[in-house]
Every structure is written in structure tokens, then in C-alpha cells.
């Protein structure tokens, strides 16, 4: 430490000596250039100039904060129009000069955008191939009554959602559950809610399981295998799976009275096996890519893998069917709104970072925790659970990742503990309310379309106990492994 201070002192002295010599040289040469430069430098470093810079920084921070709050309030009040508020906020940040225009494109994380788009395309082809329906049919042949059928479908929904988008998972599995409940004359409302909640439980288990996982993976430089085993320790996958396993017991307590026997039916035929192969290849290639560094495109390699396989799937579908129906299906199912919203969010987050809001929030959290890591971890987990019950977890996680990293830097700790606490809390919290996660909304929409009324109390009876169970187990696992 002494050497560092001494070297710094030498550097300052050298700099001062150089400035003096330069000034003298300017005077003796009859030129006023050096004097003017020296005066300009002194004026630029004057207290008045520093005050103006602080005032400008404060104004930028205030403006950015107002825009950010307006965006969030708009998204909460008009959730169906949230993409418009994000786009408007990103444009406002640029027009106000908070984020330089030349930084716009580089602020968007194209690797994440391509990963999500490619996965969406492959999932739509996978569902159309009827492979998920076949897997569900085969599984139902192994259970004896309605109770275990609902538990099996919920568990199946959870496993699939570790690799497939949660909404897509519900759209695959819920119709099967609905058909079974109708056959057995069982109320489908709690069964479909269980399927939706279970799909949300395991989204954080893998890199491709949820948009928030993809955001964390890219931000923290995590590979597919890092979600399972990272830095010599069990990763978040195990915390998520332990929590999900414990919810099976909770589901049994809820549905143990449903004893109607299951009738064996025909197994759905798969129309195209290629999408299933592509799903497997996504996982294998993402794992393989984690062991290699690819020059020039390494930051985009995961996105390139997902998009490349998606293009192969579409081309194969069009060629094998000799029409453009697969392309039309993909264009219809591709969630362009989410992709645009994410792009806008990246610009907004870059803007509030540029304005200094992220640093300010990091400092505030650090002061609240008082340097107590366990308290900070607890605050992050349970605040994320509560907030994600009412707001979309995608913009929340996108905004909080740099805050969490800032807290870790200020406290000089490994950010992994806080990263995992943020992700687990944000993904599980959506299960508390019917509108806390898109999968919940999709499930309720399916029930309403079939003429069933879903009360908030119906949802709370299943969502709350399953969420509390999964959160507590994941919370304890992550703490004891990563503290």
C-alpha cells in the first residue's frame, strides 16, 4: 500500500514539473499558446466548472429517474400496452441526451435477443409436431388416479419449462389436463392452476428456461453448464429443483381426495421428429459452446446457435411439406412484442446507468444492509418475491442486475449469491398472484375460454403454498452453498 502511494506521489510531482516546464517554454518562445492552454485547463478545473458539471449530472439523473418511473407506472397501469411505454422511454432517454445516440445499438444485448427469438421459433415447431402431447400421454399411462395424474402433469410442466418458455409449456400441457378433468368429471380450475404454477417454478433452472435466466446468464457470463455446476459448487439448478420436488408433497395434500381412476387412451402420434432433435441440439450445442472461445463472435455464440437451429427447422419444415405453412406458423407465434420491449429495456437500463442511478441505488442498498451480507441477501430475495407478484419480472431483473453487481463491488463480495437470490425470488414471486406471471394469465385465459370462472381465492390456495415452499428451500440452499 505504501509503495502504491509513493508511486502516485512521484507521478503527480512529475506531472506538475512537466506543466511548469511547458509554461516556461511558452513564455520564453514569445508564444501565448502554452499560457492560454494552462489558463483553459485551470478554468476547466475550477470550482465553478465542477459545480456546473455536478448540476448537469444531477439534472440528468433526475430526468432519467422521472422517465424510468413514468415507464414503470405506465407498464403497471396498462400492461397490455407495456411495449409502447418502454419504446417511448428509450426514445425519451435519447432525445434528452442522457444516453449518447452512438451508444444505442451497442447498448442492446443482441445475444439475448437472438437466443430468445431462436428458442421461440424452435418451441413453436416443437409444439406443432405434437411431441409434447405424446410425452404427456405416455406419462399418464403410468399413473393410477386423478390425484397422481394432476401431480404428474404439473411435474411434467415443470421439467419442460426448464427448457421451454413457460407460456408455451402451459399451452402444451393445459389442454391435456383439461381433457383428463372433463373425462373424470373433476373441477379443472385447480389442476390447470397447478400446471401453470409448476411451469413457473423451474424456469430459473437452466440458461434457456426463462427470459430472466437468459438475462442473468449473459450479464454474469454464465454458460449452460454453469447453471448446474459453477465455480466448483452446485449452482442454482439444484436449488430450483429441490424446491420443485418439495412442492410435489404440497400438491399431494391439495389433491389427495381426487381418487377417480384414469382410463388408458390412445397415444398421440408425432407428425415431425425434427423439432424434437432441434430441441436436444439446442441444449447440447449450448453446453459444447461453453468449452470454446470463438473469435469475433464469442459474445453472440449462444444467440447464433439458437437462431441457426431455428432457421434449419423452418427450412426443413417448408421443404418437407412443400409449402410455406411452417414459416407462417413461426411468424404468427414469434413474440415480436417481447423482443421489441427487451430491446427498449436495454436502452433504458443503459441510460439510467449512464445517469448514475444504478450507482446511487447500489449505495442505498448497501447502506440499508449496513454491510450485513445475510440481511442484504434476504432483502433482495423477498423484495423480489413480493415485487414480482405485481410487476413483470423481465424489466425488474434487467434493472436490478447492475444494481446487485454494484452492491457486490461496494461490499467487496462475490456477486453470485446476490445474483441467484435475485433470479430465484423474481421467477418464483410471480406465482403469488393470478397476474404475476404470463403463464398464469395464459392458464386463466384457457379456463375462461372453456366457461370456467377463476376466483383469486382459487389461485391463492395453490399459488401461495407452492411459492412459499419453493422460495424457502431455494433461499436456504443458495445461502448455505454460496455464502
Q: pLDDT tens for residues 88-125?
A: 999 999 999 999 998 889 888 898 888 888 888 888 88
Name 139's Cβ contacts closer than 8 Å, sequence gap at least 6: 152, 153, 156
4: pLDDT strictly greater than 60: no
- 320 and 454 in a single domain? The answer is yes
- 161 and 283 in a single domain? The answer is yes
In-domain check, residue 144: yes
7: pLDDT strictly greater than 70: no
What would the mean pLDDT of 240-268 be, rounded to a whole number? 88
Under the banding of pLDDT at 50, 70 and 90, the label for residue 53 is: confident
In-domain check, residue 84: no
Residue 430 confidence (pLDDT): 83
What would the mean pLDDT of 297-319 be, rounded to a whole number? 90
- Environment class of 204 (CB within 10 Å of its CB; exposed 0-12, middle 13-18, buried 19+): buried
What would the mean pLDDT of 146-153 be, rounded to a whole number? 88
Residue 5 confidence (pLDDT): 35
Rounded CA-CA distance 193/202 in Å is: 15
The H or E element that residue 143 is part of is none
Under the banding of pLDDT at 50, 70 and 90, the label for residue 20 is: very low
In-domain check, residue 91: no
Q: pLDDT per residue over 198-211, tens digit each?
A: 988 888 898 878 88
- Environment class of 294 (CB within 10 Å of its CB; exposed 0-12, middle 13-18, buried 19+): exposed
Name 27's Cβ contacts closer than 8 Å, sequence gap at least 6: 34, 35
Bridge partners (DSSP) of residue 145 are 261
Rounded CA-CA distance 207/444 in Å is: 27
- 173 and 268 in a single domain? The answer is yes
Where is pLDDT greater, at 437 or 479? 479
Q: Determine how β-strand 229-230 pairs with β-strand 233-234.
A: antiparallel
- Secondary structure of 19-60 as H, E, C letters: HHHHHHHHHHCCCCHHHHHHHHHHHHCCHHHHHHHHHHHHHH
What rounded mean pLDDT belongs to the chain?
Answer: 82
- 138 and 278 in a single domain? The answer is yes
Where is pLDDT greater, at 386 or 164? 386
- 154 and 21 in a single domain? The answer is no
What the block records as the C-alpha cell of 127 is 409444439
In-domain check, residue 452: yes
What would the mean pLDDT of 444-473 be, rounded to a whole number? 88
Q: pLDDT per residue over 323-347, tens digit each?
A: 999 899 888 878 888 788 889 988 9
Residue 31 confidence (pLDDT): 42
- 467 and 321 in a single domain? The answer is yes
In-domain check, residue 55: no
- 198 and 284 in a single domain? The answer is yes
Where is pLDDT greater, at 367 or 248? 248
- Environment class of 159 (CB within 10 Å of its CB; exposed 0-12, middle 13-18, buried 19+): middle
Report the candidate in 347, 405, 401 with the shortest Cα–Cα distance to residue 113.
Answer: 347
Residue 468 confidence (pLDDT): 94
Domain that holds residue 8: 1-41
Under the banding of pLDDT at 50, 70 and 90, the label for residue 48 is: low
Residue 311 confidence (pLDDT): 95
- Environment class of 318 (CB within 10 Å of its CB; exposed 0-12, middle 13-18, buried 19+): middle
Under the banding of pLDDT at 50, 70 and 90, the label for residue 197 is: very high
The H or E element that residue 81 is part of is none
Rounded CA-CA distance 328/336 in Å is: 14
What would the mean pLDDT of 172-176 be, rounded to a whole number? 78
In-domain check, residue 118: yes
Under the banding of pLDDT at 50, 70 and 90, the label for residue 46 is: low
What percentage of the chain carries pLDDT values higher than 70? 89
Residues 443/193, Cβ–Cβ less than 8 Å: yes
13: pLDDT strictly greater than 50: no
Residues 425/152, Cβ–Cβ less than 8 Å: no
Crossing angle of helices 336-355 and 47-77, rounded to 10°? 150
- 26 and 124 in a single domain? The answer is no
Cα-based angle 298, 304, 309 (whole degrees, multiple of 5) = 145
- 7 and 133 in a single domain? The answer is no
Q: Rg (Cα) of the chain, in Å, rounded?
A: 27
**Residue 333 Cα to chain centre, angstroms:** 20
What the block records as the C-alpha cell of 60 is 440528468
- 11 and 134 in a single domain? The answer is no
In-domain check, residue 221: yes
In-domain check, residue 66: no
Q: Tell me the three state secondary structure of residue 390.
A: coil
What the block records as the C-alpha cell of 191 is 389442476
- 141 and 37 in a single domain? The answer is no
481: pLDDT strictly greater than 90: yes
Rounded CA-CA distance 79/64 in Å is: 21
Number of structural domains (the chain) is: 2
Phi, psi of 321, rounded to the nearest 5 degrees: -95, -10
Name 453's Cβ contacts closer than 8 Å, sequence gap at least 6: none
- Residue 148 CB: number of other CB atoms within 10 A? 20
- 35 and 129 in a single domain? The answer is no
44: pLDDT strictly greater than 70: no
Residues 474/239, Cβ–Cβ less than 8 Å: yes
Amino acid at each position: 500500500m505504501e509503495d502504491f502511494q509513493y508511486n502516485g506521489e512521484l507521478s503527480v510531482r512529475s506531472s506538475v514539473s512537466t506543466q511548469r516546464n511547458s509554461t516556461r517554454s511558452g513564455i520564453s518562445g514569445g508564444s501565448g499558446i502554452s499560457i492560454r492552454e494552462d489558463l483553459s485547463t485551470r478554468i476547466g478545473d475550477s470550482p465553478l466548472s465542477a459545480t456546473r458539471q455536478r448540476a448537469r449530472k444531477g439534472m440528468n439523473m433526475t430526468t432519467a429517474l422521472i422517465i424510468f418511473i413514468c415507464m414503470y407506472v405506465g407498464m403497471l397501469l396498462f400492461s397490455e400496452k407495456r411495449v409502447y411505454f418502454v419504446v417511448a422511454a428509450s426514445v425519451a432517454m435519447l432525445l434528452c441526451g442522457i444516453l449518447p445516440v452512438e451508444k444505442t445499438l451497442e447498448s442492446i444485448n443482441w445475444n439475448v435477443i437472438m437466443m430468445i427469438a431462436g428458442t421461440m421459433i424452435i418451441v413453436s415447431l416443437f409444439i406443432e409436431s405434437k411431441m409434447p402431447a405424446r410425452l404427456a400421454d405416455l406419462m399418464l399411462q403410468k399413473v393410477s388416479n386423478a390425484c397422481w395424474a394432476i401431480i404428474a402433469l404439473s411435474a411434467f410442466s415443470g421439467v419442460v419449462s426448464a427448457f421451454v418458455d413457460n407460456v408455451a409449456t402451459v399451452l402444451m400441457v393445459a389442454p391435456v389436463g383439461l381433457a383428463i378433468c372433463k373425462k373424470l368429471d373433476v373441477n379443472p380450475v385447480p389442476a390447470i392452476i397447478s400446471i401453470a404454477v409448476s411451469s413457473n417454478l423451474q424456469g430459473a433452472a437452466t440458461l434457456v428456461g426463462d427470459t430472466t435466466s437468459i438475462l442473468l446468464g449473459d450479464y454474469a457470463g454464465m454458460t449452460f453448464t454453469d447453471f448446474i455446476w459453477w465455480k466448483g459448487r452446485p449452482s442454482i439448478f439444484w436449488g430450483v429443483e429441490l424446491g420443485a420436488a418439495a412442492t410435489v408433497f404440497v400438491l399431494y395434500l391439495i389433491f389427495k381426495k381426487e381418487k377417480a381412476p384414469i382410463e388408458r387412451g390412445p397415444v398421440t402420434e408425432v407428425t415431425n421428429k425434427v423439432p424434437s432433435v432441434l430441441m436436444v441440439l439446442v441444449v447440447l450445442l449450448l453446453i459444447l459452446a461453453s468449452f470454446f472461445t470463438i473469435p469475433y463472435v464469442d459474445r453472440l455464440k449462444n444467440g447464433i446457435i439458437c437462431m441457426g437451429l431455428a432457421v434449419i427447422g423452418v427450412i426443413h419444415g417448408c421443404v418437407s411439406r412443400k409449402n410455406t405453412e411452417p414459416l407462417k406458423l413461426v411468424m404468427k407465434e414469434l413474440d415480436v412484442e417481447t423482443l421489441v420491449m427487451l430491446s427498449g429495456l436495454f436502452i433504458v437500463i443503459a441510460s439510467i446507468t449512464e445517469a448514475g442511478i444504478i450507482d446511487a441505488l447500489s449505495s442505498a442498498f448497501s447502506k440499508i444492509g449496513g454491510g450485513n451480507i445475510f440481511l442484504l441477501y434476504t432483502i433482495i430475495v423477498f423484495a423480489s418475491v413480493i415485487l414480482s407478484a405485481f410487476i413483470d419480472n423481465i424489466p425488474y431483473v434487467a434493472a436490478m442486475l447492475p444494481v446487485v453487481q454494484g452492491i457486490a463491488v461496494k461490499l467487496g463480495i462475490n456477486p453470485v449469491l446476490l445474483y441467484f437470490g435475485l433470479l430465484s425470488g423474481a421467477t418464483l414471486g410471480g406465482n403469488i398472484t393470478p397476474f404475476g406471471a404470463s403463464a398464469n394469465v395464459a392458464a386463466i385465459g384457457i379456463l375462461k375460454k372453456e366457461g370456467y370462472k377463476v376466483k383469486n381465492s382459487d389461485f391463492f390456495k395453490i399459488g401461495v403454498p407452492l411459492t412459499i415452499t419453493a422460495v424457502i428451500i431455494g433461499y436456504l440452499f443458495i445461502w448455505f452453498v454460496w455464502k
